[in-house]
Each structure stands twice: as structure tokens, then as C-alpha cells.
Amino acid sequence: MSPGRLLMKINMYYGGRGLLDDPTLYVLNKMEDVLRELRVSVERYNIYEHKNEIATLPQTFKDADGIILATTIEWLGIGGYMQQFLDACWLYGDKEKISNTYMQPIVMSTTYGEREGELTLSNAWEILGGLPCAGLCGYVEDLVTFEMNQEYNVIIEKKAENLYRTISQKIKSLPTSNQAVKQSVLRTQQLNLTPQESEQLSKYVSDDSYVKKQKEDIEELATMFKDMLGQSQSDSSGMYIKEFESHFIPAEDFTASYSFMIEGAKEPLYMAIDKDKLTIHYGEEPDVDVIAKLNNEVMQAITDGRMTFQRAFMTGEMTAKGNFKTLRMLDQVFAF
């Protein structure tokens, strides 16, 4: 092997905001210097610069022997960019490639929670099926003081050397419960896609024009189905009218009006009885004596003679408000 050939490729994924006084950037720069001295090819991805194509970033694992996930805790948690990136790894990442990739977490904090952040990254990578590597976390109150501390610099350099050693020697670690969780509980939660399908899907997701077109298509379909539903409702607007007209029995000196709210019907069924005259149609009418609400099955049972209005009301299958004496008259003026 020629002396100038690079032996290893490590990708860095930075999930912070890119601020000049971000201590994580200083740590990454120091580690990159050490890794390059060890003839390691290093490529850094600032996730905030790829926020519109985060879904495709897991595809950059392809030629990497190991990765560094680095973020800064400014107030709470690992931050949105890093969380989105991990979500993309779960949804679109090549799980076979991840299972052979070492990851070192780097979490620096300017407030509180660097240990929890490091643990979050380690847990996430193990649940994804990846290989863990000892990480680095720390609290930085003043960046200048931190940079000037030689002991801190030595710790950072040793962590970079440890990552190189872990990958080159393929150091194994003891099994963890996170790995067991992935193998048993979570294996049904993800799409069973090939690496090629995952890559293609991630490209679709990150393509704004494609996503916009899909949303427009969904809206068009939703509108079409709404129109179809409205049409089907209007087509059913003649239901029960003939049944009520053919079974109407006039009652002497009886006048009343009813409005039936039938579930699934576009408009209520209105009936007005004036002695021997019956007016019936679908539509809203003011000042009715009784308003009843029931579903289509109950109304069908009544018109088939298998149930009475009184029984439907007493069993709660039909609700009503208004004059209940007038409600009871329904079973006398309509003989089903």
C-alpha cells in the first residue's frame, strides 16, 4: 500500500447553529487536525447548511468507516437539526451500512445537560443498530479560557486518537439493552425498504417541488371525494318520501310539523301534517314542533315496520326535542 493513500474515512455531522463562539466547533476543528495527521479523510457536514435536504444526508454514510455526531446544548436538548437528522437516519438510512459504522458523540454545553445529550446520541445510534464509541462531553462557560487550557486540548486529542483506534482495530463492545430493543420491539415500526428504495424515498422527501405536487394531488383527490360524497347525499334525498306518503293515515283535527336529522343525509327530512294533507321534502324549515335525530338504519327499521317511533325514542336510538305528545302521534298517522 502506498504511503500517501488514506486508510480511513470519517464524516462529521454538526447539529449546532454555526455561531462563532460555539465550543463544539472548536472541538471539531481540533479533532479534525488530529485525524488528518493520522492520514484519515475527514468530511464535515453542517446540518444547518443542508436543512432543506436533511432526509438525504444519511446516504453520505456510504463510504464512511465512522462518523462523529456533534451538537451544542444552548438551552435544552440536542437541538432540532440533530433530531431531524436522526429521524432521517431511522426513516431513510441504510440500516445495513449503519450496523457497520462506528459513531462518536460530541456534545458541548453552554448551559446544562451535556451528559444527557451525549447519552441521547449514543442511545439513538445503538437503537439504529450502529456501533458505539466513547464520546466526549463538557461544559464551557468561557470559550477563550477553554481554548487556552492545554489539559483540555490533550483530552480532545486523545478522544480523536481513540476513535481512530476503535475503527482501525474494529473494537467490539458488550451488548446493550438498546440493541435488544431494536431487535425485538422496534423492528416492526420501520418500513422494510432496500437501501436503494430508502435512498430514492429520501430524495423524494427532500424534493420540495415533488412534495408540493403530492400535496396538490392529495387536495385534488380530497375535493373529488367530497364532491362524490355530496353527490351521493343529494342522490339519496328522495329516500323514505314514498314510504311515508303511502303509509299516511290522516287524523282528525291533527296538525304538526317534524324535522328528522338522518345521519348521512345532506339535509333534514321535513314533514308537515295538516289534517288529511301531508307535505314532505328534504330541506330546512323554521318553527317545527319536533326535531328528531336518528341514523339511517333506525329510520329503515321504522319504515320496514320492524320498529316504532316510540320504541326508538325509549331505547335511545332516536333522540328528539319538542312536543312529546306530538312525537307519539307519529305511530298513529303512519302505519308501517
Q: Are 120 and 85 in contact (CB under 8 A)?
A: no
Q: Are 97 and 105 in contact (CB under 8 A)?
A: no
Helix, strand, coil % over all residues of the chain, rounded to 5: 50, 20, 30
What pLDDT, on the 0 to 100 scale, is given for residue 74? 92
Task: Name the residue with higher pLDDT: 272 or 177.
Answer: 272
Q: List b or e across 232-244, with b for residues whose CB sees 16 or more CB atoms inside 10 angstroms.
A: eeeeeeebbeebb
CA distance 76 to 104: 21
Within the chain, all domains assigned CATH 3.40.50.360 are found at: 8-206
Cell numbers of 28, please? 471539531
174 band by pLDDT with thresholds 50, 70 and 90: confident
pLDDT digits (tens, 9 = 90+) for 11-32: 999 999 999 899 999 999 999 9
Q: Which residue has the cell 325509549?
A: 314
Q: Are 107 and 121 in contact (CB under 8 A)?
A: yes
Is residue 5 scored above 50 in pLDDT? no
Within the chain, all domains assigned CATH 3.30.1050.10 are found at: 238-333
User: Which fold would CATH assign to domain 8-206?
Assistant: Rossmann fold (3.40.50)
Task: Name the residue with higher pLDDT: 182 or 99.
Answer: 99
Q: Is 207 left (phi over 0), alpha (psi -120 to 50) or beta?
A: beta
CA distance 280 to 245: 8
104 band by pLDDT with thresholds 50, 70 and 90: very high
Q: What CATH number is given for 238-333 in this structure? A: 3.30.1050.10
What pLDDT, on the 0 to 100 scale, is given for residue 188? 43
Query: SS3 of 90, please?
Result: helix
Q: List b or e across 178-192, with b for residues whose CB sees 16 or more CB atoms inside 10 angstroms.
A: bbeebeeeeeeeeee
pLDDT digits (tens, 9 = 90+) for 118-168: 999 999 999 999 998 999 999 999 999 999 999 999 999 999 999 999 999
181 band by pLDDT with thresholds 50, 70 and 90: low
What pLDDT, on the 0 to 100 scale, is given for residue 123? 94
CA distance 336 to 332: 10
Helix boundaries (H) for 68-176: 80-92, 95-98, 114-128, 143-148, 150-169
Cell numbers of 138, please? 463538557
Tell me the whole-structure pTM to 2 decimals: 0.61
